[in-house]
Structure 1
Amino acid sequence: MGRKRNRSKNKAKLLLSQSNDSIGNIPSTSKDTSPNQEPNLKPILESDVNVTQTNPSGSPLKSIMKSHSKLNVNMQDLSKQGDSSTSTSLTNPNQNFETSTANIKSNLINNFSKFLSQLQSENSSKVDSKEDLEMIQHHEQPVTKKFLKPVRISHRELNFTAPEMEAANLINVWHKFVLYNVEKEDKVAVLNALLEIAQPYFLIPVMYTMEGDNKATFLTFCRYNIIQRYVNRKLEVKIPNKTKKVKIDIILSFLSFQDMPLDPQTIITNCIIARFSKEPINKKSLNLKNFSNDKILGSVYCPLEIPFVLDYVFRLSKILSSPHPMAPNIREGKVPIRDLILSDNNLETLVLSEKVFGGNFTRLDLRNNKLGNVNSLRSFSEYKITELWLDGNPLCNNYTKIRDYIGTVKQIFPFLQKLDDHVIDNELKLMPTFQKHFIHNNMKISLVQQFLEHFFTCYDQNDRISLNGLYDSEAIFSMTIGPITDISKQLILKTFATNRNLKKFADYAKCSEILLKGPEKIIAMLRQEPATFRKMKHLDVDLVYNTEKCFAVCVQGPFSYLRSYVSPLWFNRTLLVVAKEDNEFCIANDHYHIDNLPASYNDIDLSELTFATEKSIPTFNPTPFSASEKEQLLSLMQELTSVNKQYAEKCLIEANWEIRKAVDSFLKSYVDNKIPMEAFKKRVWRDEIR
């Protein structure tokens, strides 16, 4: 009796172990491993996959396993129940093996129902338990077909009936998504919207491609439950912060896995393995910085800003870091790291479904994300975080006093010792945190932004003559050059640059010679500099001085020289801007410094600067002249041509208030004897001239 019970228990465990589910229904390509070989690292994580298995007697068994932090406990109970039920059936020789499998199947459904009810009550994300149980009870078993017959469901004539459902429920096949009314820059927003709709199931898009101006496609593994979610929305997805909607067509069973054996889950696994540091366990780190742009991922889209994707990566890291990934007690294992780096991932919130990190986890880097509130960090409050980096997040702008900032963060992390690389002592003395822009007077924000955009748009034009009018009549300009060693960059700078570095001057008599005064000399020198290009989003702006009549602004950031094929350089510009009549502003002092790109920009993608062309330069649209400027132009036109004010205004309006063009047009008309005599009279009615 004891041997039969043990044998029955082993058979029940064997049947359970034959389930081969994975995230997004990705087919498994692993081979059986011997005890001396490394176990397969593919995690059995949260999914909704139905796989047909066959027992030794040939009867099919439908195993549905949803691997979750609490499912392992249910599986332990299931093994016990399966043990008792199977042993009972095997003690009676008149009962066959089908009876035992029926008992196990019944236990599977009951335990799965209990688990789903627990998950729905404790987790905010809703699981389609009713739909899943119906699929189990009605034996909707997925099949693998040798010859595929693609089926298209379109947003124009939406039809999701039995043939479409059958094609959606096939395993080991790729489905093709066709997106309409989508632009190139909409890629991230559209894919993120599709992933959020698929939650709590995980959709992994691969090979996203633009096939036209308003059409894009990608491939993915998914099943009926995910396809049904898009059908319920009439195959339409709204892009956040935009009014337009993206239309979707889905070609089901588009391609078999054998035709394109790309395993997204293995690729993500390899990427995570490469992100683990090789230090000892007490100093080990997991660097997930800018994860979605990792070269290892290739065309696989895995954005950590989606909470469900981030949680999946954490749980996958937990399994990969375990010495025995397929061990039954994997739920009790933790990721043995000290440092977790999540910077540059566009994170807006942080949600953890379980405690995945061990007791050594004390350092958390969340720089340059989109976290808007400190409360979004409460998922990590159960860890003893001693070092935290939050600079570069919108939440830093919520505090005007350092004491308030530190106090709020320490309410969540009471063991905190360092915040943003600054030690927090007992008196809460801390240097100000880094902010990309410092503008003390919020009333000046729009003025500073408008002035800088206008200045650099004019500056990056092919001909900097458009800067005329931006410099005061008594403006001063000086320039310095940093220790640039690259020969190609030195050759470019030699064509125009003057280095007025007082620490390196041997002859101070020349200092005044290269201190340019007046707009004519300044603009003439700036026109010698080759065409440049920069992006406002890369610039750091500080308003260092501000009064009603003037303000001083310091601007720095990367820039590139067009048609030079050299890597970007760094510039720093300090401008003293003074107010003039008619709400106009001019530059009274300009200090221009060029240097090497800082090392902190090595990990930042500046390809749009490196490969910029003349088409990248924004179009310059001159602003209209003020009333006083128009009066000056009218007086000058009258003085040059001796016509009256009305006719001078007519000439300037036709020339768009360009004095040279107006004078040239007048001279041509004068030679052709087309100027009426009334134009030279002191007073004349406008209607007579026109």
Structure 2
Amino acid sequence: MGPRWRRRKYNNEDTLWEDNKVESEVGLDADNGTLGSWFKVSISNGRNYDRTWLINSMQDLCSVPFIPVDFHYDKRRARFFVQDARTAYALRDIHNKICDEKNQKISIFVSPSVVPYSVQNKFTSEEMEQLKVTVMKRYDASQKSLDLQRFRFDKDFMDNDIDVMLNRRSCMVATLQIIQSSIPELLALNLCNNKLYQLDGLSDMIEKAPQVKILNLSKNKLKSVCELEKVKELNLEELWLEGNPLCSLFSDHAIRDLFPKLLRLDGKELIVPTGMDIEVPQYYLFYDNGERFRLLDAYHDQACFSLTVSSNFNDPDLSNLEEYFKHNRDMKKVQDSYMRMRLLKHTKHTIVDSLSLLPKTQHDLGSFLVDLCFHTETMLCFSVNGWFKEVEGKCQGCVRAFTRIFITTYYNNSRICIMNDEMIVRNASPREIQNAFIPANSPLSEEQQEMVKSFSMQSRMKLTWAQKCLEDNGWDYAKAAEIFTMLQNESKIPKEFFE
């Protein structure tokens, strides 16, 4: 019932402008509407588009000039407000008349609204003057930097009983207006400790403070990289994020993908990426070690993922694949087109969230067989076949056989990332179970033994784990050391691994 209900809701919204009767009922009537009435404008998947391009495209086609009020994002949608029915009617009239670079029509929905919060809470002229005085007191002209940390608790505001909370869009927008008019040369902005949980208001920086190269967002409440996407058009060279919840969920690569010119993150120099960042052993190291969120870096922003359960009806234990059947997109069994679309995961964030729902595993790297399917100058398709076992839950110890088919491409001309990922899972046969996870008997060469001893001494890890780290990285000492250092700095290596 859940999926059907959501689909009906979507259909109702799509037909909102196809029925004039419905239009009148919701109050959008150009003849009856009064000047001063407020309307909310929503653009489906508006987050996918550059804000300036989107607004300019709408203004080019709209028969009535308009000024978008309180532009912001709500999940995947872009939203703003306009103030009279004539403008709302004109915007409604360009629904599906704008096409993006992929020739997809852009859906625009308009509905009556209460007065926007930012308008209701607009500062008086006296409050704006006090805000300007306080901002200028905190500006360092020699460094072209503005320190707004703990802004709400500034003595000027407390003495004058003015509530300036930068986690409110209205306050952030007013502050940026002052920056635009009084400090257009601003290079560094410190917003530390302002309880920012979303960056809708800060997205105006792209227009009002485009010269900013250093942005400090540390010690706030940001939970997702999605918030940073709202300011990704800034040409940042230095960014501070420490003390935000998102720091424990996303790696440096995820931040660097949004800000390709970034040189420093939380005060540390970033390594400029070169060559191929995706390595099969490293991918499965993160997959198995409870760090699937780290796989975010491996996927393209618009990647796709699907999972298929290959079931043998002679297999008596199909019930132990229950956790995989929940996500099964076997085209022979899933006939409903809506469910097919729902089970196809789009965007790297959705993919990693889906992978994190699957049972925890340990892969038998010795069983891996990697085949190159085809390649061009810009694309690579390869498959990985092998075995893994589940390490938690009611199916702990169950051995599975799997095939992963990856299609990869270059991203920002610097690294390879996954565009398409298809996972096929089945129960392993008795023979496969018998051959799985057999320790390799081949002895180490003298050179490898010396590498293990040296790596163990430098890392202080036990010999067993020092050897595994080297093996997982193809006996590339420098690469193993880099991975070890990265995981150790993030406290991801269990204490039991050390002497």
With the length of structure 2 as denominator, give the TM-score of the two structures. 0.31
Higher strand share: 2
Bigger Rg, which one: 1
With the length of structure 1 as denominator, give the TM-score of the two structures. 0.25
